[in-house]
Amino acid sequence: MSLPIVAIVGRPNVGKSTLVNRLTGEMASIVHDQPGVTRDRTYRPAFWQDREFVVVDTGGLVFGDDSEFLPLIRQQAIVALNEAKVAIFMVDGQIGPTALDLEIAAWLRQQPVPILLAVNKCESPQQGLAQAAEFWQLGLGEPYPISSIHGSGTGELLDQLLDYIPPTDPEITTDEIRVAIAGRPNVGKSSLLNAFLGAERAIVSPISGTTRDAIDTVVERDGQTYRLIDTAGIRRRKSVDYGPEMFGVHRAFQAIHRADVVLFILDALEDITEQDQRLAGHIAEQGRACVLVVNKWDAVEKDTYTINDYRHRVYQRLNFVDWAEAIFVSALTGQRVNKVFDFVNQAVEQHRRRVSTAVVNEVVQDAVNGHSPPATRQGRQGKVYYATQVSTQPPTMAIFVNDTKLFKDNYRRYLEKQFREQLGFKGTPIRLLWRGKK
């Protein structure tokens, strides 16, 4: 269910992010140019031929010790490598092998992950081969000359990569639905957890999750199994002094990573904060389904307008997840708590939904007929050739066009809006992958 991970490592400035941008294409990410979320933007979905994977840029591996961030960066690289099916080690062909490259190579040889050696900045084919050849000395096998900027050689590199990436099975269905419960401290996560367990009663024993220390709880309801992810993390909050807030966030992010759907808990008595917005951005970016659960509804003084006003405010402030359904509950009184799983089911169904190519193209054609892509001053016009849903969880549409540059952000948002209007997809993010002819 979770996609295979490809880690990209290498020292700073060799061109890692340029390659990541190329691999992930013109990703119409919902969190596009929002400050604040970009910091967490390390995992990005990509595909090559019929395979899907997630690319992680480890963020510039450095081994000197002159910065307080180094241990953190290295730690992140180790985590990324542990998760990865395969890693691309990128070096700079114009500079040639450096001492740091050799050091990283020696370290990588100890890691239990296959490594592909990409020699970047090899724009000229003949020179490139010579430049690449120098890197045999790293002892990591064949160096592949590539140019992240121009794209030359990257196809060969990706073909090699596919040996390590299993084909995507479109029919993957597991019986259980994996649910992460996320939200700021004190919004009522553990109260809700207890309310769920009380309401559903059919609690099975806690089981160990795959991430170290994570304890999941399995609940059954109407014949459907739900795995509530890292419930230990929710409870442990109480007894442990966390120090930096980061740890809790990190833990929540890990839970989201393992989930199909996130129950995003909000406190009806509190304002929505920047932290909530970051969480929303992360959920959207990770492509998880989501249900907004506004808790403590018992304590809100209400009139007929309250719920709509509140709903409006939530969607406005949490626009990254404005496709999610919102439900107003009370863990304290149990009000509507048993409805939460109905919303979970709906969101998961949409998350796994597949729309036929005919329908996808119909939506795109209607959208283009209604509002054609603006032409450039030179009279060049964006053309859409074909569109198809390439994956589910979340629903992802590849849109094949003459030139991606002719489709600006506002047009992309327009098309995404058309997909929502025509096809719904309530509860799940959707993705548009823009692919040019070359």
Give contact residues for ligand GDP (rule: CB under 6 A): 10, 12-18, 60, 120-121, 123, 147-149, 183, 185-191, 234, 237, 295-296, 298-299, 330-332
Q: Are 177 and 227 in contact (CB under 8 A)?
A: yes
362 is in an annotated binding site: no
Q: Of 150 and 380, which CB lies nearer to ligand GDP in the complex structure?
A: 150
396 is in an annotated binding site: no
Distance CA 203, CA 230 (A): 15
> Minimum CB separation from ligand GDP for residue 98, in Å?
13
> Minimum CB separation from ligand GDP for residue 234, in Å?
6
Q: What is the DSSP string of 244-282?
A: STHHHHHHHHHHHHH-SEEEEEEETTS---HHHHHHHHH
> Minimum CB separation from ligand GDP for residue 108, in Å?
16
Q: Of 31 and 193, which CB lies nearer to ligand GDP in the complex structure?
A: 193
Query: To which residue do tokens 């592909």 refer?
Result: 116
10 is in an annotated binding site: yes
Q: What is the DSSP letter of 390?
A: E
Distance CA 155, CA 161 (A): 10
Q: Which of 318, 214, 324, 339 is nearest to 262 (CA)?
A: 324
- CB 10: neighbour CB atoms within 10 A? 26
216 is in an annotated binding site: no
Q: Are 293 and 38 in contact (CB under 8 A)?
A: no
58 is in an annotated binding site: yes
> Minimum CB separation from ligand GDP for residue 190, in Å?
4
Q: Of 124 and 372, which CB lies nearer to ligand GDP in the complex structure?
A: 124
Distance CA 422, CA 376 (A): 28
82 is in an annotated binding site: no
Q: Of 60 and 114, which CB lies nearer to ligand GDP in the complex structure?
A: 60
* Dihedral over alpha carbons 62, 65, 70, 76 (to 10 degrees): 60
> Minimum CB separation from ligand GDP for residue 360, in Å?
33
Q: Of 172 and 299, which CB lies nearer to ligand GDP in the complex structure?
A: 299
> Minimum CB separation from ligand GDP for residue 367, in Å?
33
Q: Of 104 and 363, which CB lies nearer to ligand GDP in the complex structure?
A: 104
Q: Of 120 and 393, which CB lies nearer to ligand GDP in the complex structure?
A: 120
Q: Which of 253, 316, 264 is nearest to 290 (CA)?
A: 264
Q: Are 41 and 31 in contact (CB under 8 A)?
A: yes
295 is in an annotated binding site: yes
Q: Of 82 and 333, which CB lies nearer to ligand GDP in the complex structure?
A: 333
417 is in an annotated binding site: no
Q: What is the DSSP string of 163-224?
A: TTSPPP-TT---SSEEEEEE-STTSSHHHHHHHHHHHH--BPPPEE-SSTT-EEEEEEETTE
- Give the DSSP H/E element, type plus range, for residue 75: helix 70-83
Query: To which residue do tokens 């969190």 refer?
Result: 31
Strand partners of residue 219: 203, 226
> Minimum CB separation from ligand GDP for residue 259, in Å?
17
- CB 436: neighbour CB atoms within 10 A? 14
By the 10 Å C-beta count (0-12 exposed, 13-18 middle, 19+ buried), 312 is classed as exposed
Residue 127 is which amino acid?
A: Q
353 is in an annotated binding site: no
> Minimum CB separation from ligand GDP for residue 168, in Å?
27
438 is in an annotated binding site: no
Q: Which residue is nearest to ligand GDP (CB)?
A: 15
* Residue numbers belonging to the annotated binding site for GTP: 10-17, 57-61, 120-123, 183-190, 230-234, 295-298
